[in-house]
Structures are given as structure tokens and as C-alpha cells.
Amino acid sequence: MKNHTSTLIPGPLDSHTANLFLSQNSTVLLSTMLVAILTFIALAILRCGKIQPALHFSTAVPPYTHLTYPILGSLQYFSDPWNFLRTATEKGSVSFHLFNQSCIALSSDARQAFFSDWLTDPTLGYAIMLAGTPNLSKDFTKTVGIDITLGGRSYKFLTALIRKERVIAKMPTLYAYAYNHISGFGATTDPFESFPEIIFRLTVSIVTSSNIAANQAACNALLQIFIGLEKAATPVTVLFPWFFGPDRMRRFYLMKQFYNVMLDTIAERKKEGRNEDDAMQFLIDQGLSTMEITQFAIAVLFTGNANTAVVAPTLLCDLAMHPSYLSQVRDELETFISSFNSDMSLPLQARIQSIAYDDWTKPGCLPILERCLKETIRLRVGTPLHRLNNTEKDVKMGRVIVPRGTIATFHTSFVHHDEKIFPEPFVWDPERFSPERAEDKKTPMAFAGWGLGRHPCLGQKFATFEAYLLVALMVSLYDIQVVDERGQPLTEMPPPDLQNQVVSPPPTAIHLRLAARE
């Protein structure tokens, strides 16, 4: 049978392209830096004066923070976002800027207004704050960068692709991918490398292309593109999105690689007259161009993979670090699996395939595992959330006015690590989500792990399914111990790192020692 994915793996750069993109000639680099600095200063003089007055035209716009540098703005946001936002908002919400991007940092008491607002756009907020997509005009995504919203159609397409009917049709394939990956582990594994590979593959299968997903090497190549894109998103690309420097060139090259994969996949499919029942065919049938399919795929794969690829292995590490919970979860999952297929003579793979998609996330089916997942998210996930006012008018969030073109930012640690809401907030304690304690129910909008209000996580159900499935396979197949990179047992997990812009693995290396269970 012909391998339909053999051309999907990006090849090495030829010497000309490598020299074009990666040359480190010192003279050229110094000249570029000098021109860039002079350009920045000139433009800053013209632009910076427009920022603060625009933020203060109304008394409802928060006062400007003193934690700022001339022209460039609050650079502390990049290096220490949690401490910056916490310190800046001690007396309430404040305004700040990042070069020519105006922002408002919302305090904890403004969270209900933040999560309840439906006029501001989280997708474009993240595009600017993470990828350096420029702003200042309604169609700013057409200037530099990509329009990940497809003119507002992305939400509709994603909703259609993750309908349970489409996921159910893929369940045998998803089960096979997951089981084959997990059962192939050796004596040790780095879960923050091995889990992202399978989570990415499962996500590609649902929201991109079935024949790309069928080739693990192609999936891994795409995953490396995403890792490269994340590393190339630096403060420079955010502050100066129009500057085509080394990071921007690297991002351009990586996006071109991704585009080529989509182009080859579509061309091969059309050439052979194949009409497959997958996300790519759905998008083709909707009339999207290859560039639009690329834009959509980059956005949804980042959204679908970024959090789950860290949360799922972290959950497993938290369980392994607490043997009593690991034992409870293992027993709960064995009872759960047996309720659908009790034939112990069958292999685990066959028994698990008896479980329907909806059953994994049905309320109350896996209460202990659900509490453990929520607690891992609460404790380990502390990042800023963003909303861009991309409308033609100012938007009111509670008592705060968010001017047009301004990004409102709220940090999840304002609730997740508030000892008034969650006592001993840096202790992993799943029972805080038990019916008896229900600490998340005593304060409005206290748990932001899956979004809140008008901005819930669209992929929550599928992400939960992925996490539960992988944990079920791991605890059923292996006895697990958390060790460091030298193989020495760890006695506790590293404290959560709250200084990241996105959900990130622990700052120190963590591995799992595995022993096959009988």
C-alpha cells in the first residue's frame, strides 16, 4: 500500500536557505541591531506619547502603573508576570503598556466582569501577547502574522469538528494510538516529552488530518515546528511585531514548513481523488484555501495541545507522588472499566474500547480522578488570561473601561492561589473539591481551570477524555515512581512556576520509573 504521508515530514534546509535564515555574520547582525535601535527610538518618540493620554481620557479607565520604563513600558510583565500583575494591582486595576500596545491589568475583584464580558476577543488577545501579531486596526491580522480567527469563522469550524458524533467515529483509532504509545514505554520515560507526542497525535486526528495522524513521524515533525514557534515568540516579537529580526524570520520559516505540510497533504489527496472523513476534508468542503486551513490548524493545535500536554503528565506525577491517591484512582478506574467490560481474560486494550466517549466525562463517573485533575490544574496552572477589545468602541468591564485596541489581562493565580479561597494554596489537596468541602463553590468564579462565564473552554470534554484515557492506561499497565534525571526518587514535586506566559512543564527535570504490572 502506498504511504500517503511519506512526503509530509519537513526536509532539511538547503545551504542557500540555511544561509538566508540562520546566518550569524557578526557585521550584518551588528548593523541590523544598530538600525533597529535607531528605528525603535524614532518610532517610539512618535508613538509613545499617544499611549498614556489614550488610556486616561475617561476616569473609568484605570490609573497608570508606576512599574514601567520610558517608551518600552512594563517589561517586568515578560520576565515576572505574576509578581508584576500582583504588585501593580494591589490597590485595584491599573493601565500599562508594552511599547505601542495598551493594556489593563485587572485585579481579583474584577474577575466576574472579565469572565462575563462577551465583546472582547480572547483569541486575538493571545495572538498579540504570545505571538506578536500587530494591532492598531480592525483588520490588523492581515498586516503581519496570520488571521487565526478566519474572519470569525474559526469558532464555528472548531465547534463542528469536536462534535461528539465526529469524535465517536474516531474512537477505535484514538484508543489504538494511545494504547500502542503508552504500552511501548521502557523502564523510564520523561512524561513531558512522551505525553505531548501522543496528545498531539490524538488532537491532529480530530482537528487536522487523519492521514497525517496515521504517521507518527509526521506528527512528531509537526510537534517540533510548534515547539520552535513557541521558542521564537520572544518579548522582541511582541514589542516590535513589524521588525523582521532573527526570531521573526525563524517564525516565518517554521510557518512556511507547516504550510508546506498542509499543501502536500491536500495536493496528494486531490491527485488521488481521495475524499476522507476527517477535519481537513471538512475544511476543504467549506471552501477554505490551503493558507486558511494552515491558519486554522496552527490555532487549534496550539490551543488543543498546549495545556493538556502539560496538565496530563503533571497529573500523573502528582498521583505518583501521593501513593494513597494513586491507589484510589487505580481502583476507581478498574471498577469503571469493568462496568463496561468485566471479562478479565481480555487484554486491557480490548476492555477499554468498550467505553463510549461520553462515559469518560459523565458527571460523577470518576469522582476521585476528577478531583485530582481539578487540583492539579488549580495548583500547577498559573498564567495570564487575555481579552482584546477589537470592537469599534470602548467596552465596559464592570467599573472599568477598556478602550478600543486595549488588552485586558487577568492572572489565574488571583483565584487559584488565594489562601482566602483555597486554604494552603500551594499544597496538593484534591479533597478541597469534595462535596463536603467544595472550596471552589464558596466564592464566585473561584476555579478558572476550564474557563468561566462567557468564555468556557470549547475543548474541555475532549481534553478531559485525553487526560483520563492516558492516566487509565498508565496506572493499569505500570507501577509508577517519580524520579529525577539521574534516577533518584523524588520526595515532592517542584513548586508551581507562576512566571510563565503559558502552561509550562516543571522547571526541573522529572522522569517516571515504570515497572510492568501483572
Contacts of 116 (CB under 8 A, 6+ apart): 453, 454
How far is 204 from 265, CA to CA, in rounded Å? 13
pLDDT at 513 over 70: yes
pLDDT score, position 171: 97
Residue reference for cell 522582541: 236
SS3 assignment, position 16: helix
How far is 49 from 65, CA to CA, in rounded Å? 16
pLDDT score, position 131: 65
Instruction: Please indicate, yes or no, if residue 394 is contained in any of the structural domains.
Output: no
* 233 backbone φψ class: left, alpha, beta (φ>0; ψ -120 to 50): beta
Instruction: Please indicate, yes or no, if residue 58 is contained in any of the structural domains.
Output: no
Considering only 164-168, 270-274, 324-328, which range has the smallest mean pLDDT? 270-274
Domain count, the chain: 1
Instruction: Please indicate, yes or no, if residue 67 is contained in any of the structural domains.
Output: no
How far is 416 from 459, CA to CA, in rounded Å? 21
What are the backbone angles phi and psi of residue 365, rounded to the nearest 5°?
Answer: -75, -40
- H or E segment to which residue 115 belongs: helix 111-116
Higher pLDDT, 273 or 443: 443
Considering only 126-140, 264-278, 302-316, which range has the smallest mean pLDDT? 126-140
Interval 151-178 mean pLDDT: 91
**How does the average pLDDT of the chain come out, rounded?**
86
Query: In terms of Cα–Cα distance, which of 324, 302, 309, 306 is closest to 191?
Result: 309
pLDDT at 41 over 90: no
Cβ(510)–Cβ(482) under 8 Å? Answer: yes
Contacts of 322 (CB under 8 A, 6+ apart): 428
Instruction: Please indicate, yes or no, if residue 275 is contained in any of the structural domains.
Output: yes
**53-81 residue pLDDT tens:** 444 445 689 999 999 999 999 999 999 99
Residue 418 CB: number of other CB atoms within 10 A?
A: 14
Instruction: Please indicate, yes or no, if residue 117 is contained in any of the structural domains.
Output: no
Interval 265-276 mean pLDDT: 88
Q: What is the b/e burial string over 469-501, where b = at least 16 CB atoms within 10 angstroms of the residue's CB?
A: bbbbbbbbbbebbbbeeeeeebeebeebebbbb
Instruction: Please indicate, yes or no, if residue 3 is contained in any of the structural domains.
Output: no
**111-150 residue pLDDT tens:** 999 999 888 888 888 888 876 543 333 333 443 345 566 7
Full-model pTM? 0.87
- H or E segment to which residue 221 belongs: helix 216-232
Instruction: Please indicate, yes or no, if residue 210 is contained in any of the structural domains.
Output: yes
- 99, 372, 376, 425, 480 from 495: Cα distances, Å: 32, 17, 12, 11, 21
Q: Which domain holds residue 250?
A: 150-381+453-478+499-506
Instruction: Please indicate, yes or no, if residue 41 is contained in any of the structural domains.
Output: no
Instruction: Label the pairing between strands 101-105 and 407-411.
Output: parallel
CATH of the domain at 192: 1.10.630.10
Residue 437: beta bridge partners? Answer: none
Instruction: Determine if residue 457 is labeled as part of a ligand binding site.
Output: yes
Sign for the CA dihedral angle at 355, 361, 364, 366 comes to positive
Residue reference for cell 546566518: 23
Cβ(108)–Cβ(85) under 8 Å? Answer: no
- H or E segment to which residue 96 belongs: strand 94-98
Where helices occur in 71-148 by DSSP H, the ranges are: 76-79, 81-88, 111-116, 122-131
Contacts of 469 (CB under 8 A, 6+ apart): 174, 175, 178, 352, 360
